[in-house]
Amino acid sequence: MDRADETLIPPGTAWLHDPATRAVCDAITAEGASIYFVGGAVRDALLGVPGADVDLSTDVLPEETERLAKAAGLRTVPTGIEHGTVTVISQGRGFEVTTFRRDVQTDGRRAVVSFSRDIQDDARRRDFTLNALYATPDGGLVDPLGGLEDCLARRIRFIEDADKRIREDFLRILRYFRFHAWYANPAEGFDTDAMDAIARNTAGLETLSAERTGAEMRRLLAAPDPAPAIAAMRQTGALLQVLPEADDRFLAPLVHLETLTGQAPDAIRRLAVLGGENPADRLRLSRKDARELAQINRALAEGTPLTELAWRENVALAVSVMLLLHAMSGTPPDPGILPTLERAAEAVFPVTAADLMPACKGAALGARLKALEARWIASGFSLSREDLMTGE
């Protein structure tokens, strides 16, 4: 086991000093067992990015984890005890503590595991080298497979045999591109072995559930700039396997325009620019996300003026449609468009049905209101009640 320089975990890292995590660590180590912070929390601390959830690994069996935790006065929940995971409740928060494991059998979606006391076994069943890093409760870094160099270089590489890692769980294809979008140094490019292995195994993506596929795709598309990763997905064949007929030509221009106009990344807006066959079902979108995607696509198809869209629906929808239109046309937006859309969304139609009664009623009343509304919208929401009531 390679124990790296103990100063490598930044001393100000919150989870090193959090009383809740300290209580869990103290409970497990009370009788000489070992416990380690592992994976995303360690990676993110080294990279200085906002921290992932804190996960812990130990060299004792799940039943022993439960006994040690309860002896220290901590409650436990056997959330995944058959796979080695016990959730330990400390100060009202849950921490997953998982026994070291090694894979006995995999089918590309799930694994049969056996427990181990060897940290290298546990490290070898993980996906990427930068995720196979551990830290002791006192902040010492443990690097069983030499992943520290890759982590600090922001290099995304599969552990050992890329083809084998992918065949253990085909979701790792999508995780590779997601991690590249979020963590990679652009100068590093894409690992050749990884890309070759992905290209050989894209058919395995068909075995994944729509829920797992959709969750990964949404997280990928929410990255600051997912365009290079999505382009690499297309090159390997993974993109069309996940989303047939998707077209990423306009994704990079969209990301550029988002940055130019100060808009936060939006996974559904970016999914809309990719298109593809039935993305709501293929990616099992939530009702909210499916509705947003449908609204964007309908507004694009109907050509509703942006200001009217902002007024009838909301600014966010109008902004997304505006960005998509300019990304696809290759033209820059008007510098004043965002304030214009915000004003449109706040406008209040000045005429009510009561203003037109009793002269108008029934179908005639509805038609008259609709005609006046159209004039008011065409005026840029500037006509007053008096203008509308007296003018033609």
Q: Which residues of the chain, if any, have pLDDT below 50? A: 1, 4-5, 7
Query: Do residues 10 and 45 touch, judged by C-beta distance below 8 A?
Result: yes
Query: Do residues 184 and 154 touch, judged by C-beta distance below 8 A?
Result: yes
What is the reported pLDDT for 384?
83
For residue 200, give both structure tokens: 């050989």
Domains recognised in the chain with CATH numbers: 1-153 (3.30.460.10), 154-242 (1.10.3090.10), 244-347 (1.20.58), 350-390 (no CATH)
What is the reported pLDDT for 111?
62
Crossing angle for the helix pair 227-236 and 171-183, nearest 10 degrees? 150
CB atoms within 10 A of CB 8: 18
* pTM, entire model: 0.89
CB atoms within 10 A of CB 357: 10
Round to whole Å and give the CA distance between 167 and 207: 11
Most distant pair of Cα atoms in the chain: their distance: 89
Beta strand segments in the chain, E? 35-38, 55-58, 75-80, 85-90, 93-99, 101-106, 111-115, 134-135, 141-142
Antiparallel, parallel or unpaired: β 134-135 and 55-58? unpaired
Task: Supply the DSSP symbol for 155.
Answer: -
For residue 343, give both structure tokens: 């004003």
Could you give phi then psi for residue 47, rounded to 5 degrees?
-90, -10
Query: Do residues 372 and 392 touch, judged by C-beta distance below 8 A?
Result: no
In the three-class reduction of DSSP (H, G, I as helix; E, B as strand; rest coil), residue 174 is classed as helix
For residue 55, give both structure tokens: 């996960």
Residues 6+ apart with CB under 8 A from 327: 250, 253, 254, 256, 257, 273
Round to whole Å and give the CA distance between 326 and 323: 5
Query: Do residues 133 and 42 touch, judged by C-beta distance below 8 A?
Result: yes
What is the reported pLDDT for 1?
47
Antiparallel, parallel or unpaired: β 55-58 and 93-99? parallel
> What are the angstrom distances between the C-alpha of 141 and each of 27, 45, 254?
21, 11, 40
Round to whole Å and give the CA distance between 32 and 18: 21
Query: Do residues 27 and 35 touch, judged by C-beta distance below 8 A?
Result: no
For residue 189, give both structure tokens: 């490019």
Closest C-alpha among 142, 145, 140, 139 to residue 125: 145
Round to whole Å and give the CA distance between 134 and 142: 5
Q: Which long-range contacts (CB under 8 A, 24 or more apart) does 89-92 make?
A: 90/20, 90/21, 90/23, 90/24, 91/19, 91/20, 91/23, 92/20
Residue 142: strand pairing partners: 3, 134
Residue 135: strand pairing partners: 37, 141
Alpha-carbon torsion angle 205, 208, 212, 215, nearest 10: 30
Residue 115: strand pairing partners: 101
What is the reported pLDDT for 5?
47
Round to whole Å and give the CA distance between 44 and 27: 25
Antiparallel, parallel or unpaired: β 93-99 and 101-106? unpaired
Query: Do residues 129 and 162 touch, judged by C-beta distance below 8 A?
Result: no
CB atoms within 10 A of CB 254: 24
